[in-house]
Amino acid sequence: MNISLLMGLMIAVPLIAAVLVAFCGRNPNLRETISLAVGAVLLLVVLALGAADLSDSDNYLVLAEPFPGLELALSAEPLGVLFALVAGFLWPVTTLYAIGYMRAEKAKNQTRFYCAFAIAISATMGIAMSANMLTLFVFYELLTLSTYPLVTHQGHDDAKRAGRVYLGILLATSMLFMLPAMIWTWQLTGTLDFQPGGILTTELGVGTLSLLLLLYIFGTGKAALMPFHRWLPAAMVAPTPVSALLHAVAVVKAGVFTVLKIVIYLFGLETIKTLEVTHFLAYLAGFTILAASIVAMTRDNLKKRLAYSTVSQLGYVVMGALLGVATGVLGSSMHIVMHAFAKITLFFCAGAILVAVHKTDVSQLNGLGRRMPLTMAAFLIASLSIIGLPPMGGTWSKWLLLQGTLDSGLMVLTAVLLISSLLNLIYLLSIPVRAFFLAPTKPLTVPHTAPPTAAPATQQEPVVLGDEAPRNCLIAISITALACLILFFVPDLLFEHVGAIPL
């Protein structure tokens, strides 16, 4: 199969979906069918790319040439394919979930929602496939802008304020730091291509390289490295499917993916290793891991807690990338996948709880396991995966990351990882424990903080075992939770791609 055709399709298919969705706004059933069908098509395309031989000579697609000698171009490499596979697989699943969720919530402006969602996926695919830093930057900004209407979907003042923080931090970091870093790189080396071994050599001097690395890493606001992490909790005001796919998978993973790309293909591990500033950044990532975990423990709002957990987990990936050793990079790449599946499951569960019983806070979840056993079981599985316990997929990535810290000799970071696992244990596992072992503090049928728009139906319905979220949501939850399990037993699928990354 022709690789450049596949890459073109990956960008075009979601865009076509956006256009079709916009035209079918009047007919919700048709609109949702299109979303699902296009999602399936995209998945097939991505799978085909995953199976293709990347050493093929036509693995390069030029979209445009905005500056002389500097193209907007796509080129597939193992890490990007892996990222595309994750996003491509989770998009249809999330769409399935979103259909159930948005209808149960009777959300407004659903057409705009699906439209912006599709554009965001297209941008994500563009990031995954970009052949050079400029292309990545363009799609990166496009992703920020296309997710803005999703974050502010509800349109109230909170959403508007969150939107400001979201856009402010993401655009400001990329414009203030990443853009000048990119132009500087272009002037120094005359290329922005992602090349195995990197384009920035040690001949440029330690000072220049250190400054560039700082600009690049802080410029990637989407990686939520402290102190530029505030946008992620703010974005939780969005509808849950958005938090699930975009703020647990596409957007944040685009951030850490960018960090990995910069480390592997712009600097190269050999160069990164020699810089003092790399250690500083790795320690900063370690600090982010711990600080975010501690903040997560204090958050009672479930989505906020998950958001801080995401900040912490992104710290893992950034840290792994900056260890300067191969195992670190491998661990980071694996962690992108493992965390994606686990965190999307957690968010799906949070949304399911919101739809079914209109609860948003952890302290309200006592005894919920009786009513929503499937949801809470999935929550348990995903929590275990994030903590990194067998038999869940997260075990492998955490193992590799630990080994990476040992290889690099930064023992402090080994300790950070271990402590962080304990903290994860506390703030994540306490939730299913409450749900399964504690008795409900109040009758479950009375909504604790029912939003004014909430359907009063729940008040009349008796408590029944298995009175859960809409079926679509449950299917989606089951798929992603199962994936967490399966990835433990067949990690070879991932190792194949990760191992092929030229280091």
Cβ nearer to other proteins, comparing 22 with 454: 22
Cβ nearer to other proteins, comparing 69 with 443: 69
Q: Which helix (H) or strand (E) holds 135?
A: helix 133-151
**Phi, psi dihedral angles at 227 (to 5 degrees):** -90, 20
Q: CA–CA separation, 257 vs 223, rounded Å?
A: 8
Q: Is residue 62 a contact residue for other proteins (CB under 8 A)?
A: no
Q: Is residue 237 a contact residue for other proteins (CB under 8 A)?
A: no
Distance of closest approach, residue 175 Cβ to other proteins, in angstroms: 6
Q: Is residue 463 a contact residue for other proteins (CB under 8 A)?
A: no
Cβ nearer to other proteins, comparing 114 with 148: 148
The sign one gets for the Cα dihedral 390, 77, 64, 14 is negative
Binding test (CB under 8 A) with other proteins, winner from 1, 40, 62, 67: 67
The sign one gets for the Cα dihedral 192, 89, 247, 383 is negative
Distance of closest approach, residue 301 Cβ to other proteins, in angstroms: 23
Asked if 468 and 374 touch (Cβ cutoff 8 Å), the reply is yes
Distance of closest approach, residue 243 Cβ to other proteins, in angstroms: 20
Q: Is residue 37 a contact residue for other proteins (CB under 8 A)?
A: no
Cβ nearer to other proteins, comparing 103 with 164: 164
Three-state DSSP class for 194? coil
Cβ nearer to other proteins, comparing 149 with 324: 149
Cβ nearer to other proteins, comparing 115 with 381: 115
Cβ nearer to other proteins, comparing 137 with 231: 137
Instruction: List the interface residues with other proteins, window 84-143 (CB under 8 A).
Output: 137-138, 141-142
Cβ nearer to other proteins, comparing 72 with 368: 72
Distance of closest approach, residue 63 Cβ to other proteins, in angstroms: 9
What number of chain residues touch other proteins (CB under 8 A)? 27
Cβ nearer to other proteins, comparing 154 with 458: 154
Distance of closest approach, residue 172 Cβ to other proteins, in angstroms: 6
- The amino acid that residue 343 corresponds to is K
Asked if 42 and 121 touch (Cβ cutoff 8 Å), the reply is yes
Asked if 114 and 31 touch (Cβ cutoff 8 Å), the reply is yes
Asked if 162 and 152 touch (Cβ cutoff 8 Å), the reply is yes
Q: Is residue 462 a contact residue for other proteins (CB under 8 A)?
A: no
Three-state DSSP class for 439? coil
Per-residue tokens: 469: 């979220």
Three-state DSSP class for 148? helix
Q: Is residue 227 a contact residue for other proteins (CB under 8 A)?
A: no
Distance of closest approach, residue 71 Cβ to other proteins, in angstroms: 11
Assess whether the previous peptide bond of 227 is cis (omega < 30° from 0): yes
With the CA atoms of 261, 266, 269 and 271 taken in that order, what torsion angle do they form, in degrees rounded to the nearest 10?
Answer: -160
Beta strands in 2-97 (DSSP E): 61-67, 70-74
Binding test (CB under 8 A) with other proteins, winner from 1, 19, 64, 503: 64
Binding test (CB under 8 A) with other proteins, winner from 152, 366, 414, 420: 152
User: On the CB side of 304, how many CA atoms lie within 13 Å of its CA?
Assistant: 14
- Rg, the chain, Cα only: 22
From residue 154 to residue 193, the character string flagging contacts with other proteins as x (rule: CB under 8 A) and all else as - is: -x----x---x--xx--xx--xx--xx--xx-xx------
Q: Is residue 294 a contact residue for other proteins (CB under 8 A)?
A: no
Q: Is residue 68 a contact residue for other proteins (CB under 8 A)?
A: yes
Q: Which helix (H) or strand (E) holds 499?
A: helix 492-499
Distance of closest approach, residue 163 Cβ to other proteins, in angstroms: 8
Q: Which stretch binds other proteins (CB under 8 A): 59-67, 82-90, 341-349, 371-379?
A: 59-67
Cβ nearer to other proteins, comparing 206 with 418: 206
Asked if 159 and 237 touch (Cβ cutoff 8 Å), the reply is yes
Number of helices (H), then strands (E), belonging to the chain: the values are 22, 2
Q: CA–CA separation, 423 vs 164, rounded Å?
A: 31
Three-state DSSP class for 459? helix
Cβ nearer to other proteins, comparing 64 with 503: 64
Residues that bind other proteins (CB under 8 A): 64-68, 72, 137-138, 141-142, 145, 152, 155, 160, 164, 167-168, 171-172, 175-176, 179-180, 183-184, 186-187
